[in-house]
Every structure is written in C-alpha cells, then in structure tokens.
Structure 1
Amino acid sequence: MTALDRRDFTIALVAMTIVVLASNILVQYPFEAWGLQDYFTWGAFTYPFSFLVTELANRRFGPKGARKVVYVGFVLAVALSIILATPRIAIASGSAFLTAQLLDIGIFSRLRNMAWWLPPFASSTISAAVDTTIFFSFAFYCGAIPGIGLTIDQVLAQAGITDQCIALPWVTLGLADYGVKLALSVFSILPYGVVLRLMSPGLAQRATV
C-alpha cells in the first residue's frame, strides 16, 4: 500500500468511525421539532452517510479494501459505542452495520460497471432496508421475542450483559428512518459524483476482488 493509499484509507476509516459512533449516540434522542419525536431520531440524519463512505471506499480500493474499512470501522465504532452509548445500542448497531455494509459492498460490486449513479443508489437502497430492520427491532423492541418467550434484555442478561430497553416506537421510527435514508441516498449521489470525478479514471474503475 502506497503512502497515498494509506492516507485515503485512514480518511475513510476515520469518517466511518465518526459517522457510526455519532449515530449510535444520536439515535437515543428523538427529533422533537414539529412534533416528530415519534418518527425520527437525530441519528436518522447522520447514519446514511456511512453508505456513502463505503461506496467511495469501494471505488477507491475495490471490494477488498472497502471490506477492510467496514471491518475496522465496525470494531472501533462498536467499542466506542459500548462506552459512549449503551451495550444494547452497540450490539444492535454492530449487527446491523456489519450485515448491511457487506451487503452494500456486494451489490455495488455487481453493478460497478453500469451507469455511475446506479451502484451507490441501488446498493444503499437495499442495504439500508436491511440495516433499519435489524437495528430498530433489536435496539428498541422491549417485548418478548416470538418463539422464545424472553425479552432481548433477558437474553443479554443470560450472557452477562446488563442493559435496559429504551422504549421507543420502533416501527414508526424505523419506517421514518428508512425514508430519510432513501432521501439522503438520492442527495448523496451528487457528492459521490463530485468525489468520483476527482479520482483518476484508474482509481474510479478499480474492481479488485
């Protein structure tokens, strides 16, 4: 890896860690302006940018490099979230993040040679739905798990993790959050295109497996 590669990888890693950590903290705070506290949290407006970081890393380093950004960012963000957020939020975020980001990389890689705007839009649209479902159902659902009869708190307690569920309307929050992610995925097409044009043609089309 060249000095330029190391610099860009560090930038991507720092950006990913900041976005995910900030989102894990902000998701605990409902967006109360205009009576929207039952539909949005502040994290809804920051987390979608993690997909932009992943997609730019995919263009810059290829799928293999993008996975490294996701893996290292995952470890750092979850570790810091346990300290600055809550264990339950950290686990929910880590599970959703890792699953959705790896799905994002896979979809993007399959579409990378199509129209420049299609890979980031399609991959973020699909992976954001998976991310939202996993995160909100785990983080804010306080009832018993169907088929198990135990709450998530009780399951965590059996693993030695003590945490208390934050009772928020997770279904409406999840639907609204996904709507924000879709809107921001469209909005982020422009900065994605700008950064892509700043890359050399070789870097922009790199497809290392």
Structure 2
Amino acid sequence: MTRRHLPGILAMAAIVVASNILVQFLFGQWLTWGAFTYPLAFLVTDVMNRVYGAGPARKVVIAGFVVGVICSLIGTQIMGEYGPLVTVRIAIGSGAAFLTAQLLDVALFDRLRQGRWWRAPLASTLVGSSIDTALFFTIAFSGALTVLEPSNDVSWAAEALPLLGMGPMVPLWISLACADWLVKLCLALIALVPFRAITVYLEGKRATA
C-alpha cells in the first residue's frame, strides 16, 4: 500500500462514516438517506481495482470494514428513542454484508477485467450489491435469526404489509430490502459514468508519471 492508494482509503472511510450517520434519517417510507451513499463504496472498490489491481482494492475494503466496526461500536453506545442506535444484529449484519459483498466484488471484477470497460464494474457491483442487501436485512431483521440477539425485539419488521405498498403481502423487512436493492441497482448504472471518468484520468496520470 502506497500513498497513491490513500485517496481510495479516505474515500471509503468517508462513505462508511457518512452512511452510518445518514442511515438514521428516513427518506420516504422504505428508505433512509444512507441508501444513497453506501453504494458508492462499490465505486471506490472498482476504481481501485481497475487502476491499481485486486490487492490494493482488498486493502481498501479492509480499511472500510475497520471503520465500519468502529462506527458500529460507537453506535451501540448511543441511546436513541427505542434503545441503542446500533443493535448487535445490525452490527453483525452490517459487517458481514460489507466484507462479503465487497470482497466478492473485487474477485468478480478481477475475473472480468479483460472484457469491455463497463462489464467488470457493472457485473461485480450488481452481484455484490445483491449479496450485500440479502445478507444485511436477513441477519438484522429476519425472525428466523432472533437467536443472534434474543433481547432485541424485531417483531415490528415481521409485520405483514403489501410489498413496497402495492404488491403481495410480505414482512416489512422484505419491502425495506427490496427498496434498498432497487436503489443499489440504479446507482450501479449511474456510477458507470464517474467510474469511466475517474479511471481514465488516473490511468492517464500513471502513464505520464
């Protein structure tokens, strides 16, 4: 890891911190503001992977994971209206989802890097984002995993409601997960624009250095 990688580490850390703060603020009925900042972590990982390789990208992921753990530990000590801002299940879900999804993103991107420029970032982000959403919401809110934190009442998340307010009846946490997943998919497409611009700039800079 060199000083050239420091911007990636700082960007990842900033995204993780911002997302942990913004997740406390609702955006409509199904989302929080954190849903719009967190997917940028995949952009940072993919840029690092394209420009510097899979090794440095993994180190940036580990740095983001460590920052996320610190944020979770702080959150467990801050009491909100209904208890700690971060419960044990949310902390476990957040850490497991981040690390698994980001490392999968790095591996898949590296395998696809020889294809068209958009193929690796798009495919790796779509797969990573899907795994991230599935892991986090299942671990944090599924009634099947109450054993992780028996004292934490997540029965509210099991309330049966129409999917996203208009579909079949499903537990509330399924709608929350679907809304989060759809945002990630949209941002994966939008992120191709800054991905291309940033990587072309950084690769050109390396070529002339």
TM-score of Structure 1 vs Structure 2, range by shorter chain: 0.7 to 0.9
State the match for 2:115 in structure 1: 114
Work out whether 1:77 is the aligned partner of 2:68: yes
Match of 1:42 among 33, 49, 58: 33
CA distance in 1, matches of 2:185, 2:18: 20
Q: What letter matches 1:182 in structure 2?
A: L
Query: Which one has more relative contact order, counting CA pairs under 8 Å at least 6 apart?
Result: 1
Q: What letter matches 1:79 in structure 2?
A: I
Work out whether 1:64 is the aligned partner of 2:67: no
Aligned structure 1 segments of 4 or more residues deviating by more than 6 angstroms: none
- Displacement of 1:151 after TM fit? 3.6
* 1:136-184 deviation line (CA, Å, top 9, x unaligned): 112233x243xxxx54322xx6xxxxx5649442110111111110100
Percent identity reads: 44
Question: What SS does the aligned partner of 2:25 have?
Answer: coil
- Displacement of 1:19 after TM fit? 1.1
Question: What SS does the aligned partner of 2:149 have?
Answer: helix
State the match for 1:137 in structure 2: 138
Q: From the two aligned structures, give the one with the greater strand fraction.
A: 2
CA distance in 1, matches of 2:39, 2:31: 13
* Structure 1: unaligned runs, 5 residues or longer: 158-162, 205-209
CA distance in 2, matches of 1:18, 1:167: 31
Aligned residues: 183
State the match for 1:55 in structure 2: 46
* Structure 2: unaligned runs, 5 residues or longer: 76-84, 158-171
Question: Could you tell me the TM-score, scaled by structure 2's length?
Answer: 0.79
Worse overlay, 115-124 or 74-83: 74-83
Question: Could you tell me the TM-score, scaled by structure 1's length?
Answer: 0.79
- Displacement of 1:113 after TM fit? 1.0
Q: What letter matches 1:75 in structure 2?
A: V
Match of 1:196 among 193, 196, 199: 199
CA distance in 1, matches of 2:53, 2:59: 10
Question: What SS does the aligned partner of 1:57 have?
Answer: helix
- Displacement of 1:128 after TM fit? 0.5
- Superposed, 1:167-186 pairs within 5 Å as 167-168=156-157, 169-186=172-189
Question: What SS does the aligned partner of 1:200 have?
Answer: helix
State the match for 1:160 in structure 2: none
- Please give the root-mean-square deviation of Cα atoms over the aligned residues, in Å: 2.2
Match of 1:11 among 7, 20, 27: 7
- Displacement of 1:73 after TM fit? 1.6
Question: Are the aligned partners of 2:129 and 2:184 in contact in 1 as well (CA < 8 Å)?
Answer: yes
Question: Are the aligned partners of 2:51 and 2:203 in contact in 1 as well (CA < 8 Å)?
Answer: no
CA distance in 2, matches of 1:111, 1:56: 14
